[in-house]
Amino acid sequence: MSDTPPDRSAVNPKSRFYNEAILERGVGIRFNGAEKTNVEEYCVSEGWIRVPVAKSLDRYGNPLVIKLTGKVEPYFRDLVKDENSDNKV
């Protein structure tokens, strides 16, 4: 498996960009320099993320999402853990 996350990914199993293997590995998102933990979907090449709006749900029970544009930096969390554990004695 590659050490770089995909250009686009989603957490909704109904999405065509859903990939369970990548999500199990743990993908973290930095958006405009801030860590985001509630990202539903992202696209690096187009520069956007989709995040839920409060606790609002649509008529199908899915969270309502808003699209935010900016600099998207995905990373694998398991690689960050490995790098941090190498530095400690």
Regarding pTM above 0.75, the answer is: yes
Is-contact 60 23, C-beta < 8 A? no
pLDDT at 3 > cutoff 60: yes
| Band of residue 1 on the pLDDT scale cut at 50, 70, 90 | low
Distances (CA, A) of 52 to 14, 46, 48, 81, 89: 16, 19, 13, 27, 40
pLDDT in tens, 23-80: 999 999 999 999 999 999 999 999 999 999 999 999 999 899 999 999 999 999 887 6
pLDDT in tens, 10-26: 999 999 999 999 999 99
Strand partners, 84: none
